[in-house]
Structure 1
Amino acid sequence: MYVKFRELSSSFGLNDHSMAGAYLYRWPFREEPAIGARAFVDGGYGVSPVVVVGLAGERDAKRYGGDIVSLLRLARAEEVSSEVHGVDDDEREFSAARVAVGLSPLPGFEDVDASEVPPTAGELSAEEADRAGRAWWRIWKAAEVAERPTDEQKAFSAVAFRWFAIRDRQNKK
């Protein structure tokens, strides 16, 4: 299967017929694979949600040439439903994230504050730093998908990588 890293509620990429930015994973489930299926993978920075954007065959696997990792599990309907109903307005989240990294809030969202997103600095355990890093990773990737300004994307990615570095440093102790 070709998948793209997306939040469970995201429809982005479903109508994008290019495989640019897609990753090849093995489908290990009894259910038939389907475009738009939501699942979870070990994406290198922990378990992450993905959406199936293309079907793959043996030719794709041979062309890839390496080991193809399996999807971990399918997303349950209640997980997708709760995320869809619990999604905050993207612009509000981007505005809060901008404030957290020292940029100005977006017009119409001047009332946000940095406490609406994970911290950008401070003392956290390895587990907390991992959670904060993954949250900032998702904010960064959502900013890329939304084609937010480059300075914003760079600021969000810098925070994510900072938390991952803290997590990794603490795990080495």
Structure 2
Amino acid sequence: MALDSKDAHRLNDEEQDLYGLSAMLQCCSQVYCAVLKASLELNLFEIIAKEGGRYVSASEVASKLPSSSQHKDLASRIDRLLRLLASHSLLKCSVREKDDGVSERLYAVSPVGNYFVGGDNNGGLMTLFSSFSCHKALMDAWMNFKVAIIEEDTDLFKRRERSNMEQHF
């Protein structure tokens, strides 16, 4: 059921903000896909899970990455990834105040996030599924979805080489 302009005026500011935020998040789904893909490639779920349920900071996680990737902004960048994953319930997040009075976010793997940790808990399956759903060939196909709907002779899953997408997986 669509809202007409009269109904829109009946929404309070909090509801409008909530709906606006929801609409904005719908527009950013490719960001989530990219963050999840990068997190899996960096083994962030594995790193956090190895702490046995203990909440860890982004700087602790960053310190476990290869020395070749260490730089001054790494912990901050990792924290951004972890915050987004926590907002999608893949991680649990807590805040603590450090000795110097600065707040710091801490993360642990959530029950949903456990499916992205390798080992005996089907983590490999979700990692593979995520890799498939975030694959460039599939993303390219979805980004041209409008053309496939409108143009009769367009096959959504054909590549420039004119071979079926399944052959690329």
| TM-score category, normalised to shorter length | under 0.3
User: Which of the two has greater helix per residue?
Assistant: 2
TM-score by length of 2: 0.26
Q: TM-score, normalised by structure 1?
A: 0.26
Say which one has the larger Rg.
2
